[in-house]
A and B are shown apart, each in its own frame.
Chain A
Amino acid sequence: MALKIRHLYSERSERWEVKLMGELDIDSSTALKERLSEILEEKTADVIVNAEDLEYIDSTGLGMLIGVIKQLKTNGKELIIVNPQDSVSKLFRITGLDKVFTLREE
């Protein structure tokens, strides 16, 4: 399944809310990288990634998100992944990247 991306800026919480649906892989990670670059150029803010419908992530997706986190940190902002499925959480855990990313349930 291809990756679908929806985003909106929440004025109330002053953050970008990005919902991912499908598979974040070597083919779709470029599209997400471009979308995140566009919205952060429009407004630099924290990014909340809703991953409840993200069915798959691979090392290229992880690597792309690490790049975004580094970019956000230079501006004092953060990226938080909420409600990841077990298979997605497992990949963060086995790579040790759960120590780099903030993952949480909401």
Chain B
Amino acid sequence: MDQFKLTLPNKREYVISARLAATSIASVFGFDIEKIEDIRIAVGEACNNVVLHSKEADSFEMVIELKDETMTVYVCDTGKGFEVDKMPPVIDPHDYSGSGLGLFIIETLMDEMKVHSTDEGTTIIMKKRR
């Protein structure tokens, strides 16, 4: 298994750096263009989630693992967390409140998504198969 770790300042201007790193690694791993674009968007949304909802964390970490046919991305922060069960399961486009859209997008674009959130931090785990 190949593993990459990137620690980023918890600032909105560095989210693009996480996207660029993830897409570069996905390209080397052999994903097609459409799947690379899915990964780019999903990683961006996971990092947005940190910047918007874990403001008390100074930095956050992105870990990428490549194994067999699967790329797994972990986006981990040490913020206060949120109640995953309270996120809306579906988005009503005509009554969009701004809440939950990012996670909904990740779940749609990636093959698997899990969110672990406690009062000590949140980890979003995303998997994409080639």
Interface residues of A (CB under 8 A from B): 23, 25-27, 56, 58-60, 62-63, 66, 87, 90-91, 94-97, 99-100
A53 to chain B minimum Cβ distance, whole angstroms, is: 16
For B104, list chain A residues within 8 Å (CB). 95
Tell me what chain B mostly uses at the interface: helix, strand, loop, or mixed: helix
B18 to chain A minimum Cβ distance, whole angstroms, is: 11
Most buried by A among B16, B40, B91, B92: B16
Q: How many A-B residue pairs have CB under 8 A?
A: 59
For B45, list chain A residues within 8 Å (CB). 58-59
For A97, list chain B residues within 8 Å (CB). 93, 96
For B71, list chain A residues within 8 Å (CB). none
The list of the 4 closest CB pairs from A to B, nearest first, reads A96-B93, A59-B101, A59-B102, A27-B12
Contact of B101 among A26, A90, A95, A99 (CB under 8 A): A95
Q: Is B15 an interface residue (CB 8 A)?
A: yes
Asked whether, in the complex, the Cβ of B108 is within 8 Å of the Cβ of A94, the reply is yes
Asked whether, in the complex, the Cβ of A27 is within 8 Å of the Cβ of B109, the reply is no
Q: Is B113 an interface residue (CB 8 A)?
A: no
